[in-house]
Amino acid sequence: MLYAFNPLVVAAVLSLLLASCSSAPEAPEAQASNVNVATKSPIRSSIVGSWRDDFNALDTTRWALSNSGWKPFWAKDGLNGTWNPANVTVSGGYLVMKLDVTPGLVASAAELATHAKYGYGRYEARLRAASSSANPAVRGHGVSGNITAFFNFVNDSQTEIDHEIEGQNRTTDWIGTWQTTNRHDYGTGGTGTDLSQDFHTYRWDWAPTKVDFYIDGVLKRTITSVVPATEAHLMFNLWPTNSTLWGGKSTAGTQYMLVDYVSFTPSH
């Protein structure tokens, strides 16, 4: 479900349900993320040039944190709760994003987005998908009932480019592009490894005629059929699910998504 757009809020829609029956393969489901960036003027990628954030501190001149001012798209399937800016912290050179879910299906999720918008170029992040460990040196365990996402978004998916990892299927990276919520190209990048156990490098190279998706430097998919052409905000989020079709049934407890760094290099 999409919500009325508030001009003071940047909305992000991460996936439209593609599976039509229980026997069909899993596929992304509609979602809308909201970050208040009204106090910042968007900066075009041609102005800001290359940058990298190693998360030695939380730079609020670059990042806006989602809060409880907007009803979360994931408040369905019995789930309730909010985006909580306190769930986004920095520790030891890592961005730490926390998801709390109670046995009563009340969730506190995490999301942040750049104030600026960026265009064609290379986007890269080294991250560990959601697990029970907030310590980058210690493995935790992943559970069903969440989505880890690294993506960009603007204007009801006028541009959206995604890396998404399901809690219930942690060996698969869902990768795709959107130009509207009805025009998209989505597929998977299988890895054969549990992405909640170790850090991996996720990347997309966005050009006028194609988007190339990489995991750990290996090309996983090239999309030429749906190529966005509008600058967008770069985002991370960690949010709950309670569906066997996408993300998995809810699991009570706390999960953490960790990001080592993120970088952007514009095309020339």
Q: Which residues are catalytic?
A: 160, 164
* Nearest one of 169, 91, 180 to 133, comparing CA atoms: 91
Which residue spans within the chain are E strands per DSSP?
10-12, 33-35, 51-53, 63-65, 80-83, 88-91, 94-101, 106-114, 121-131, 146-154, 159-166, 169-180, 183-190, 200-206, 211-215, 218-223, 233-240, 253-266
What is the C-alpha separation between 176 and 144, in angstroms, rounded?
A: 22
Residue 237's DSSP bridge partners are 111, 149
Token pair for 152: 């960009």
